[in-house]
A and B are shown apart, each in its own frame.
Chain A
Amino acid sequence: MEFLRPADWEEALAAKAAHPGAVPLAGGTDVMVELNLGLRRPERLLDLSRVRELHEWETAAGSVRLGASVPYATIMERLGHLLPGLALASRTVASPQIRNRAGVGGNLGTASPAGDAHPALLAAGAEVEAASVRGTRRIPVEAFYTGVKRNALAPDELIRAVHLPVADGPQQYAKVGTRNAMVIAVCAFGLALHPATRTVRTGIGSAAPTPVRADAAEEFLAGVLEEGRHWDTGRPLASSAAAEFAALCAAACDPIDDVRSTARYRRHAVGVLARRTLAWAWEAHRARPDAFEGAV
């Protein structure tokens, strides 16, 4: 085995171009498990630890460019005010030890339907910045997941960063598991209100072959909010509308039975999480000071 240690981003891209089979290594919390258990013996590891840019983030034009290797611990501690949904999701990942190493780039690389970053990325409207020596492209996150543990990266590409709009409204994340720590999600749900565009976005984890959005539910809710002038007035949502939103979210699932749960339970639980997160987010939106001055 060869251990490639590029000193910077240019070198990393050149190494990936020269050795498309090289396995990128970020926090190692997925890769090392496979190596330790003998599930994988790649010819080359491409260690990204020394690529400084991957550990940094910058904010410009209302958007955060989050380096692929920024660990979950940093997202929780430093970025909660800009990316509340992703920060909530980060808090549910594994343990402090794992969160000190692992980040969103690795979660996207693995592209497990259970990855906790995905519902938050979908709800926020994130884009993946993929790069190679051929150039850079931005992939809307919903197009990034192409199958169970498959993603849209070309063999010579690396993830440089994820771009997320700074939250313009409340965001929520909820996950079902057997305990608080160290739990792979039975199912998970992310929700973001976008008052600026009068839209609502969702993300569902562990309930389909890939992370998915509940498109029909989003459209339904946007319609209800518009028709009822909810964005203008901050009026509470009717429980019938919340129930229909939940049902449409459950219908967006395509779950399986496995050791962690049954398909039926997952579908049910996604509906419950959808209703709950919507209630929390809408209440938070209504409670914003100055949001509805002069509203009826």
Chain B
Amino acid sequence: MHVALTVNGRPLRAEDVWEGESLLYVLRERLGLPGSKNACEQGECGSCTVRLDGAPVCACLVAAGQAEGSEVVTVEGLADGEELAPVQRAFLDAGAVQCGFCTPGLLVAADALLRRRPAPADEDIREALAGNLCRCTGYETIMDAVRLAAARRSEGA
């Protein structure tokens, strides 16, 4: 079957999609968008997090056919051209990236949090990122990064 959807603002069409495959597979293998990572394929790690019609979800648990006609935002869609998104800049500045495998999912989840809640409390950040595993950083620098992104946002506003 084929699946037509909008990814990062661009209407795209994936051909020869197997009915049982996931949105994650379509993004990575059929649409040339490998930013969303595939680690567990069972919803446990969050490295495949994308926004689907606005809400952060695990792309590995969305059937390709369910994404027909939807709006998807992946990590590739966060930056504005060469200009990094505030969360991306904050992750770099706070040293929240080590091996980087978890980073795309965390960026999408953190970006979604800040859209909903521009000045999150620490509990809000922990809760919003509870579905994203990181095996390197110990999470403290990730907390720092999200706080930094929020603080810069409020200064800018």
Which residues of A does B touch, CB under 8 Å?
1-3, 5, 25, 27-29, 31-33, 35-37, 41, 45, 47, 49, 73, 94-98, 100-101, 180-182
CB contacts (< 8 Å) of B42 on chain A: these are 33, 36-37
Q: Which residue of chain A has its CB nearest to the CB of B130?
A: A181
Which residues of B does A touch, CB under 8 Å?
1, 18-20, 22, 41-44, 46, 49, 52, 55-58, 60-63, 65-66, 68, 109, 127-128, 130-132
Q: Return A101 CB to nearest CB of chain B, in Å.
A: 5
* Assembled-state Cα–Cα distance A77/B18 (Å): 35
B19-A45 in contact (CB<8A): yes
A95-B130 in contact (CB<8A): yes
* Assembled-state Cα–Cα distance A38/B154 (Å): 47
B55-A33 in contact (CB<8A): no
Q: What are 29 A-B pairs at a CB distance below 8 A? A: A3-B19, A5-B65, A27-B61, A28-B63, A29-B43, A29-B58, A29-B61, A31-B63, A33-B42, A35-B20, A36-B61, A37-B42, A94-B43, A95-B46, A95-B130, A97-B46, A97-B58, A98-B43, A98-B58, A98-B61, A98-B131, A100-B55, A101-B57, A101-B61, A180-B130, A181-B127, A181-B130, A181-B131, A182-B131
A36-B41 in contact (CB<8A): yes
B57-A100 in contact (CB<8A): yes
Seed contacts A97-B57, A101-B57, A180-B130; 8 additional CB < 8 Å A-B pairs: A2-B19, A27-B61, A32-B22, A37-B41, A41-B20, A47-B66, A100-B55, A181-B127
Choose among A25, A95, A97, A100 the residue that contacts B63 (Cβ–Cβ < 8 A). A25
Q: Which residue of chain B has its CB nearest to the CB of A35?
A: B20
* Assembled-state Cα–Cα distance A166/B127 (Å): 28
Choose among B1, B22, B55, B60 the residue that contacts A73 (Cβ–Cβ < 8 A). B55
CB contacts (< 8 Å) of A96 on chain B: these are 56, 109, 127-128, 130-131
* Assembled-state Cα–Cα distance A48/B59 (Å): 17
CB contacts (< 8 Å) of A182 on chain B: these are 44, 130-131
A28-B56 in contact (CB<8A): no
CB contacts (< 8 Å) of A47 on chain B: these are 63, 65-66
* Assembled-state Cα–Cα distance A280/B107 (Å): 38
CB contacts (< 8 Å) of A49 on chain B: these are 66
Q: Return B132 CB to nearest CB of chain A, in Å.
A: 8
* Assembled-state Cα–Cα distance A27/B62 (Å): 7
Choose among A3, A5, A25, A94 the residue that contacts B131 (Cβ–Cβ < 8 A). A94
B65-A32 in contact (CB<8A): no
B61-A32 in contact (CB<8A): yes
Q: Return B116 CB to nearest CB of chain A, in Å.
A: 10
* Assembled-state Cα–Cα distance A37/B41 (Å): 8
B20-A1 in contact (CB<8A): yes
CB contacts (< 8 Å) of B19 on chain A: these are 1-3, 45
Q: Return B109 CB to nearest CB of chain A, in Å.
A: 7
CB contacts (< 8 Å) of B131 on chain A: these are 94-98, 181-182
* Assembled-state Cα–Cα distance A100/B61 (Å): 11
CB contacts (< 8 Å) of A35 on chain B: these are 20, 22, 63
* Assembled-state Cα–Cα distance A27/B60 (Å): 12
CB contacts (< 8 Å) of A28 on chain B: these are 61-63, 66
* Assembled-state Cα–Cα distance A25/B66 (Å): 9
* Assembled-state Cα–Cα distance A245/B65 (Å): 49
